Amino acid sequence: MNAITSKFPTAALIDGTWVTAQKSFSVSDPATGEEIARVPDLGADDARRAIDAAAKAFPAWAATPAKARAQILERWFDLITAETEALAQLMTAEQGKPLAEARGEVAYGASFIEWFAEEGKRAYGRTIPTTVASRRYITIKQPIGVVAAITPWNFPIAMITRKVASALAAGCTIVVKPSEETPLCALAVAKLAMDAGVPPGVFNVITSADAASVGNVLTSDPRVRKLTFTGSTEIGRLLYRQCADTIKKLTLELGGNAPLIVFDDADLKQAIAGTMASKYRNAGQTCVCANRIIVQAGIYERFTAALVDAVSSLHVAPGRDPRSTIGPLINADAAKKVESLISDAVSHGAKIRTGGAPDTQGALFYQPTVVTEVTPDMKIAQEEIFGPVASLIRFETEADAIRIANDTPFGLAAYLFTQNIGRVWRVAEALESGMVGVNEGVFSNEVAPFGGVKQSGLGREGAAEGLEEYLETKFICLGGIS
């Protein structure tokens, strides 16, 4: 354990107790490959213990007044905000993103806690006009019960707070299984939740390198009434199947293949800024990254030249370097995938305009890259890149852009840049995606719903819709009224 990790736990959390185990696994810095901590490698029995704790804690937490729950969440928000720098340093150490981005994620993650602290007090039911004079109809909202959350490595704080804050605000209890790549951030925010007054058993964290066996427990136990998962579509399908026998409510935030369309009439400076923000944030490792940059023929060459110029100014370095704007990829498999997609594209006629090779900083660093003359049938346009690579596709007409953008089984995010208000409406409505950024490259925030259509998932997180995902509507018919 080093100074960065010494401030927060390296043990799992079950029923308010920090749990160790004989078996452990290593957490490494992707920039250097050095071990920064070891955490317990828990298994199926530990997952069941965590569910036991959550089930035991649920009745009292559900009965806690919404205002009292909100006050605890508000303290949690304050504690996370106060520890921004320590949490950012921890995140950069285990995930690799530049410190400036890590600080931004801490604030982003905390924003969901603040939002749901307030929104939980607004889980309103309604009265319904009666159909019979002797009856009255009302609905109430109640927490769904025990929730299981499986979270990814690319936003190791925000993807937890977005789920946990909404669940706790609704009155649910939760068991979180964080990615084995980034468990330390999960344990850190859980510790701050305990410090804020979250009761034992309400928030549990299972660290494990055996995702399959822990996931099987979380999906098969009937006491778990809801599963929320952010990750790949492949794993999402598997979890969907596993939840079928117990008919769990599901929120699935899955893969993307986001189109970013630049029309001839776009403000070039605005389009470049939006593309850079969308594509190269977190070294391209976000599910809403622009994966296919679809540029109209009349602006294609000017856009390419300006993008290459902007990309050339990015600085590849370990995230702790204050100059870093591109950190490492998360692991060797990620690096191999990026290299494979670029190799395939070049073999089919694509041109590398800048980058296109591993960086000298280390094994997991990749040069920020621009690839032109990409066609929609290439693998780089069909698969999620998850790396700092912009692939540019040329189009002629608005109809072509919409057809190319929608030619994917995914539908999470989409972007378009134009100064034509009529085109804004036509294209935004025609795009098959759950979210559309118009002249903006980054749009996610706590007050707006986040989620996709098609094979990008089910349900929404954030906003009022995010709270609804953790509530059941109960209809009450009052009879015998005269």
Q: Which residues are catalytic?
A: 253, 287
The packing angle between helices 84-95 and 66-82, to 10°, is 70
Could you tell me the CA-to-CA distances from 318 to 100, 182, 236, 321 in Å, in that order? 12, 17, 31, 6
What is the distance between the alpha carbons of residues 339 and 102, in angstroms, rounded to a whole number? 26
CA 99, 101, 107, 113: dihedral to nearest 10 degrees?
-110
Cβ neighbours around 224 below 10 Å, total: 25
C-alpha radius of gyration, the chain, whole number: 23
Q: Closest by alpha carbon to 414, among 257, 259, 289, 256?
A: 259
Classify residue 198 by its DSSP letter: P
Q: Which element (helix H / strand E) includes 19?
A: strand 17-19
Residues 6+ apart with CB under 8 A from 68: none
Classify residue 366 by its DSSP letter: B
Surface-to-core class of residue 362, CB atoms within 10 Å of its CB (0-12 exposed, 13-18 middle, 19+ buried): middle
Which conformational region is residue 392 in: left (phi greater than 0), alpha (psi within -120 to 50 degrees), or beta?
A: beta
Residue type, 394: R
